Structure 1
């Protein structure tokens, strides 16, 4: 898939040792970026992704450990990337836990973890990236949302996840407005079911889940130099899915 030239750009994708984060990071590697593979506990998987990134054309690749819900840990992981690759030009906030249970059955710890990883992690990483982006007058922040959060998706299942992802979209728009004069864009990609999901519903739009390539296409669009006027947007990658409960 053709994409923008990212030579000279440093890319950090949170949670990029596995799944969607891994594929998005490798897509930037193929365009020549210097890539930082972030992980929390999956050190071996992260090292494998870094090696694959080098093989696919990354100008450099490193692994970096950190807990995106902890301010000191976030500061440390950014400092490590800056020391080895330079300041982060492209930040993809991908980390986000999921809790498939009725909200009333969830312990507070689970509820809080889902909100912290999805929403607070996005806030903390974006806040840490912004000073350098403002200094260089260039930055691309891409947040991973969830399809139909835009319309106010309501369901007793996965309650904290929907609450958090709605917050991610609100945060995306507010940050886009706050950075409109700084050479920075802030956008979101919101998939429904992706090919690496653990479970699939009986019926899927277009009879298939979203492929990784379906998510890479909007990422490349947001990172294209010609998309510099596009900010505060949310691109739903859901095949036209319309939930019954909205």
Structure 2
């Protein structure tokens, strides 16, 4: 049940997230306001304010923790793009040490592989992932044949470079598939809604709704959650991983690959 609810968050378009969340927060605050008006406790407004302050503090910690998690995974994906481009470029150069015809054939296979990897491979792109796996197998088969034509140091250098290409490719695919757990995002939205409920509850204790100030707070909370989702979604949104390193590599290898 929780997993199904968490999956619903991904169904909301990123641009619509702030509006949806602000609406939820206003509804939660209004429920809190009306609840206090009808069932208000005997405690003073100061005591209720302390409860709200604690809830907002915990919410801030949860927002910061989730933002740090999403930012860390985004940064990992960004670094792996550069690393894979460097690894493929190094392997392509070392393949040039292999005598003809194996050397040019291996370089052409690496250029084809770079073309497939020019954009981050998304988990749902099964055809692209299968194509990349097929090319990795081809590159390794050619490497196994080519290293036999080289002396010891050059053979070790070539195999090491190809191994780096294969390892980084797998790491990049796993990094793109890694997301902030949906349960964490669901908890974040629920906790934010509860904090808004408490805000409405406390505002009624003070006798004022303060809709404008509350709206600004709700908007800031919604934009922060949208930013977390933007960092966590590799395929859509405004914050996408820069692919220029792979694009430059493909452009430099195009004559050899063609």
TM-score (norm 2): 0.20
Which of these two proteins has the greater Rg computed from alpha carbons?
2
Taking CA–CA contacts closer than 8 Å with sequence separation of 6 or more, which of the two structures ends up with the larger relative contact order? 2
Structure with the bigger percentage of strand: 1
